[in-house]
Structure 1
Amino acid sequence: MDYGVLANNILAGVGGKDNIGSAWHCATRLRFKLKDESKADTEKIENMDGVITVVKSAGQYQVVIGNNVARVFEPLADAIGLARDEAQSDNQEEKKKENIVNRFIGFISSVFTPFLGAMAGTGVLKGLLALFVTLGWLQESSGTYQIWYAAGDAFFYFLPVWLAFTAAAHLKVNQYVTAALAGALLYPNLITLLAGSKPITFFGLTVVGTTYSSSVIPILLAVWMLSYLQPILDKFFHDSVRNIFTPMVSLIIMVPVTLLVVGPLGTSVGTVLSSSVESVYRVAPYAAGAVMGALWQVFVIFGVHWTFVPVMTNNISQLGYDYLLPMLSVAVLSQSGAALGVFLKTKDAKMKSLAGSSVLTGVLGITEPAIYGVTLKLKRPFIFATIAGGIGGAIAGGGGAHANAFTLPSLLALPTYLGKGFTSVIIGLVVAFILSAVTTYLFGVPSQPKDSKADAKKTEEIQDDLVIAPVSGTIIPLESVKDEVFASGAMGKGIAIVPDDDQIVSPIVGTVAAVYPSKHAIGLISNGGVEVLIHVGIDTVQLNGKHFNQLVEQGQKVSVGTPLITFDRQAIQAAGYDPTVMVIITNTADYEITETQDTVANQNWLLQLKAL
């Protein structure tokens, strides 16, 4: 796949560079803050090869790519003039329009996303070292252990520095000044003084002896305060000295303010937060495990899972462990189990391939391909995975499982769960995975439509399918329509009709595979596996369903001639839109396609397909 082409297509689909307020990526998604979301062509993006789906959540426009998201982001970043490891600046006006919840979620995700992979990797390394010590392969006193432990622990020890850098990028303050501020909190001589028996003072004010290594909240609060101080200093100093004096005065003010006020306040908030989570957990560990195991992937779908990241990292900093991470691993494995159930049961080659690859990525902690491409798409597997995750989470939570280091919830994180409750999390993971796989296999995958004996005989004799005209009118070549995506064949081969009627009927015998809120298009799949997209009009998605009436539901069985959509073509034309109907075979690569030579559509065949 040419990721540069995909990046450019996505850029065009979201409305171009000028429509992007900010852009970054996480483990599987391109995340945008768009200035005008109505300019984004969601349907067009979702139909691109390499795109799993589009999600609109927490004020973000999220394009789910999967494991290759970084390879798509690189050319995208180049195209919009953005450093590949940073998020493009938010438009300040757009920020003001967002509600505080969306702004907070966006802030947390943009702060943690850039280094989440490094954090997870070093967390796994610490877990493996603990496993090696338990197995007697290494001694904690050995040089080998100490060197590897430094490699794994250094990231967490200096976490305030990384947080300062990414938070500064989001809040638009000098990143190197914030890094210096965080570095001052971790300065060895200062740490020694603060840990001593004799209190130290700053102009007579006592500095509270607090440890900032691995902390989260103090530095985030400090950078937030600096985001208000820096603009004031920039206005105060002349251009000729601003680059020197603004950083200097920022540190003169912010380091003592952080040590005297912000740091202790942030530490207290963190302590209260961690203690509250621990108190709830201790009162009802089974219930906490069931809720988190069942609902974690729901949180992921809505994008609110980022709010838990600072809680978990803060727990490890304050308590030395975290109860939530093992429960979340159970939720992850339940989705992988459901994907395995689909893989074993489905006869659809495309779904089998996607489900099979989703099992592997899921157990490694990346569940979006499984969720959006498989379980949520089929609905019942997602429900079974949720139930299995709740049961497995209750087992893990009730057994007191906890993580000693932060890493992505997955099988790779198992070494970080060594200690109290380790057996319970193993049992919870196994139960969740097997239960979701078995229930999905037995009850979660829709039965494949079975042809009648006559149909089977006909298929054996003819070995091709016919796509009948879904509306009467004038037949024109697809390449002549005034839409580059359809005319180029990027969506697949097909044909177009200039309609003289206002009703779309099914051109095949099969099932409604996809319907759209805008009601201007519908996806069908024939009993023989032909995937047909009927798209009414050009750019009519912008009508948001006006002048359209959808007559069928997703999953409904249809025959040739079953009414699907009614529309008012005259009103569509009056609104300035072309009502041409496109009939596209989206799995074109699977067939040899012959187009009709007729010029008039009237229940005659348009396309003849023969499986390759």
Structure 2
Amino acid sequence: MTDTHTGTARDLLALVGGAANVTSTAHCISRLRLGLADPGLARTRQIKDHPAVLGVVVDDTYQIVLGPAAVDHVAQAFDRALARERAAAATTPATDAHALAARGAALKDDRARRNATPGKLFLRRIADIFVPLIPALVACGVIAGLGATLNSLALSTHTGALTGIVPVTTALSQGFMSLIAVFVGHNTAKEFGGTPVLGGAVAAIVVHPGVAAITHTPFGHLKPGQGGVLGALAAAALCAALERQARRRIPDALQMLLVPTLALALSGLAALLLLMPLAGLLADGIGNGATWLLAHAGAGAGVVLGGTFATLVMFGLHQALIPIHTTLIEQQGYSALYPILAMAGAGQAGAAVAVYLRARHNPSLRRVIRSALPTCVLGVAEPVIYGVTLPLVRPFVTAGIGAAVGGAVVGAFAQFGLTTGSTAVGPSGLVLLPLLDGSHGIGPAVLVYTGGWLTAALAACAVTHAFGFTPATLTALNAPAPEAAPDPAPPPSEAAGRPEPREQAG
């Protein structure tokens, strides 16, 4: 951690209203997420103009986009600065603390009523179930790719040592995938207010080999793993609901014995007799539907999926696709939809390059692009979206056009029989390369994906350069930056000539 990160943390703490206004802190891959008692005290304009900040997003938390390279260091320094300020404030009376907290609670409730629609909350829950599984999915995907490469070398060179390594990589990569339903059940119960281990227990029924002996169901024979993660999710959600109901109705003295037993038994029976077969039909429909779509309309599907994915991300609707990707990976070993959607990041990167070239006399905006572009190439497009393309509007649209072109390339290859897929969800950009697989192996998949990614980036750059700016926008971008007005309170903040990002609900 450098003094720059420490200084940034001190600046941000002052600009959001000080320690008294901060109710919670957290950070994700690129954003510092703050709970603020009174969001109105945050000086958003000055925060956006800070040289270390790439954008601000106001949602249920106050989110400051810093980029993957800086966010962890700044978050640690922010927590330390927050602790120091609170320790110093503890020696002085806080006469306005209760009024501040009450006003902040009212603002938070009002924002929650406006933004927390049932559909959006449900999608967030789905994301919270699957996102914690991403590190294991990535690790297993990388190991599976290594195993496939070693297997190809063993077959071509007849090397006995390599042949012995392949079963090891298979065990390492498939162990988690064989039990992913259990982890989904655990996380589902946690999200829906149940006991996580009960969710894992009922989900374990889905993958238990003994279900093959169950023949008398309304849908005939069962198969181990039938319904996969979708069946596990449904069973665990039902188990959590039954557990909550049982706790309200069973006397305290009997709860330890009866609550888990009833919840597991009833939800397990429902899973065996109804949820597994129905989820199996749905999973088969997803797999067959994706295969048919790419085989018969690959290029067109690539245009639609690639071109609209950044917009879905902006509104949080992409979270609905996580179970679909996971189901495809579980069924086929990879998601053929994921590389097409990853073209959205390539489009954002290409559009950012065009903005850099057109804003020759805007050093502040060019600095932001230099900082955000490498992370976009490596798969994290948020800094470019919120700091560059979305505030300018047109470059965000032209980035989608470039992504549609790249998606068409990947989809067209799938339409002609060369399918490219991802063995994990989460990474994109060039980081996705070791996680690729497909109908013809990892080598052709890498070539198709790389070709599509470069095509998307180049198309977005060209279209943005030609059509991404009105004359008035170009004049404003390249106008000399105005002198910064004196800051009413330190810390120093560098006046920037880059455009103001719009606040979006993430």
2:273 to 232, 239, 260: 260
Structure 2 counterpart of 1:396, which letter? V
Contact 1:6 1:72 in 2 (8 A): no
Q: SS state of the match for residue 492, structure 1?
A: coil
2:29 alignment partner in structure 1: 27
Match of 1:52 in 2: 54
Aligned mates of 1:308, 1:146 — CA distance in 2: 32
C-alpha contact (below 8 Å) 2:354/2:464 kept by paired residues: yes
Q: Which amino acid aligns with 1:113?
A: V
Match of 2:366 among 347, 352, 355: 352
Partner of 2:233: 220
Deviations 1:283-323 (A, max 9, x none): 32111001112111121112111111111221222344432
Structure 1 residue matching 2:228: 3-state secondary structure: coil
The aligned amino acid for 1:391 is: V
Q: 1:155 to 1:38 in 2, by over 3 A?
A: farther
How many Å separate the matches in 1 of 2:73 and 2:501? 31
Alignment partner, residue 373 of structure 1: 387
Provide Cα deviations, 1:495-526, integer angstroms capped at 9, x if missing partner: xxxxxxxxxxxxxxx98944989xxxxxxxxx
Change (3 A) 1:213 1:38: farther
Asked if the contact 1:214–1:317 (Cα under 8 Å) also holds between the matched residues in 2, the reply is no
Q: SS of 2:57's equivalent? A: strand
Distance 1:330 1:94, change over 3 A: closer
Q: Which residue of 1 aligns with 2:188?
A: 167
Query: Deviations 1:41-84 (Å, cap 9, x if unpaired)?
Result: 75566456654323357x7765434315556667999999xxxx
Bigger mean CA deviation after superposition, 70-79 or 242-251: 70-79
Q: Are 2:402 and 1:384 aligned?
A: no
Structure 1: distance between partners of 2:77 and 2:289: 44
Which consecutive residues of structure 2, in runs of 5 or more, have no partner in the other structure?
Answer: 84-107
The 3 A distance-change label for structure 1 pair 119 and 260 is: same
Report the CA distance between 1:214 and its aligned residue.
9.2
Q: Is the 8 A contact 2:227 2:278 kept in 1?
A: no
The residue that corresponds to 1:294 in the other structure is 307
**Aligned match of 1:152:** 173
Matches within 5 A, 1:557-596: none
Provide the rounded CA distance (Å) in 2 between the counterparts of 1:97 and 1:326.
Answer: 31
Of residues 406, 412, 421 in structure 1, which corresponds to 2:424? Answer: 406
Identity %: 24
Quick check: 1:210–1:264 contact (8 Å CA) kept in 2?
no
Distance change (3 Å), C-alpha of 1:376 and 1:185: same
Higher helix fraction: Structure 1 or Structure 2? 2
Matches for 1:524-603 after TM superposition, within 5 Å: none
Task: Indicate conservation of the 8 Å contact 2:128/2:191, yes or no.
Answer: yes
* C-alpha contact (below 8 Å) 2:390/2:502 kept by paired residues: no
Alpha-carbon distance change, 61 to 157 in structure 1, aligned in 2, over 3 angstroms? farther
Secondary structure of residue in 2 paired with 1:417:
strand
In structure 2, distance between residues paired with 1:183 and 1:468: 61
Q: Counterpart of 1:489 in 2: which secondary structure?
A: coil
The separation in 2 between residues aligned to 1:231 and 1:4, in whole angstroms, is: 42
Match of 2:103 in 1: none
Q: In the alignment, is the contact (CA less than 8 A) between 2:14 and 2:491 conserved in 1?
A: no
Q: What one-letter code is carried by the residue in structure 1 that aligns with 2:198?
A: V
Deviations 1:337-377 (A, max 9, x none): 33334445644443333323333212221111121122323
- State the alpha-carbon separation in 2 of the partners of residues 94 and 123 from structure 1: 38
Q: Partner residue of 1:492? A: 493
**TM-score, structure 1 normalization:** 0.62
1-side partners of 2:403 and 2:317: how far apart?
18
The answer for the alignment partner of 1:417 in structure 2 is 437
CA contact (8 A) 2:386 2:502 kept: no
Please list, as runs of the form range in 1=range in 2, the aligned pairs for 1:67-466 lying within 5 A after superposition.
Answer: 67=68, 68-69=70-71, 98-135=116-153, 142-186=163-207, 190-191=208-209, 193-195=210-212, 199-200=214-215, 208-212=221-225, 215-243=228-256, 245-343=258-356, 346-347=359-360, 348-400=362-414, 401-403=419-421, 405-407=423-425, 408-415=427-434, 416-420=436-440, 422=445, 423-440=447-464, 446=474, 449=478
C-alpha separation between the residues in 2 aligned to 1:331 and 1:515? 19
Matched-pair contact (CA < 8 Å) for 2:227–2:283: no
Q: Secondary structure at the match of 2:285?
A: helix
Deviations 1:360-413 (A, max 9, x none): 212221111121122323444333322221111111101103315223232232
1:533 corresponds in structure 2 to: none
Q: How many equivalent residue pairs? A: 452
Question: Which is strand-richer, 1 or 2?
Answer: 1
Unaligned runs of 5+ in 1: 81-89, 452-464, 470-477, 479-485, 495-509, 518-612
What's the TM-score once normalised by structure 2's chain length? 0.73
SS at match of 1:210: coil
Q: Which has the higher contact order (CA 8 A, sep 6+)?
A: 2
